[in-house]
Amino acid sequence: MKSYPKCCVALAATVLLLTSSARADEAAYAAVIKERDQVLSEILSARESRRATGTADEESIAAAQLALYSFRRDAATATGEQIKQQELIVRLFEKKLEITQAKTKAGLVGNIEVLEARAPLLEARQRLEELRLKEKR
């Protein structure tokens, strides 16, 4: 039977330990991602369920949607999934801009509110285009 130097045995043991530790870390990370997605989904569902009773706050629903979509975009490993979630975010901001523009026409808000609604929409579109460029590379 062949005998190996102690340094090689120690190195092999260290590699095995690090590999098993990395797998445990990945499993813990995946569990946190799954739980966070579930919690954000439940928050959104709870907010949306208030529509049936007429007590829904559309701003809080939009905030819950934004939190969920942003999380899913950031947690996604595939660029295609990141794009999908970013497209949902862009639609949220487009809807908010439409509502703000309607309020402006009705005289309820001023032009500054329209600009404040356009800024995050443009930021979201910028991020979407960056993701699309990344996917093409």
Token output for 108 = 């309820």
Range of the domain at 62: 6-136
In the three-class reduction of DSSP (H, G, I as helix; E, B as strand; rest coil), residue 1 is classed as coil
- The pLDDT assigned to 10 comes to 64
Residue 1 within a domain: no
| Distance (Å) of CA 43 to CA 37, 54, 67, 85 | 10, 17, 10, 18
Residue 33 within a domain: yes
Residue 48 within a domain: yes
Residue 73 within a domain: yes
d(CA 112, CA 2): 79
d(CA 52, CA 118): 30
In the three-class reduction of DSSP (H, G, I as helix; E, B as strand; rest coil), residue 108 is classed as coil
Residue 21 within a domain: yes
* Average pLDDT per consecutive 10 residues, the chain (137 residues; last block may be shorter): 63 62 81 96 94 88 97 96 98 97 96 97 98 94
Domain count, the chain: 1
Tell me if 74 sits within 8 A of 44, measured CB to CB: no
d(CA 13, CA 105): 71
Query: How many Cβ atoms from other residues are within 10 Å of residue 116's Cβ?
Result: 13
Token output for 107 = 């005289």
Residue 53 within a domain: yes
Residue 52 within a domain: yes
End-to-end CA distance of the chain: 52
- The pLDDT assigned to 17 comes to 61
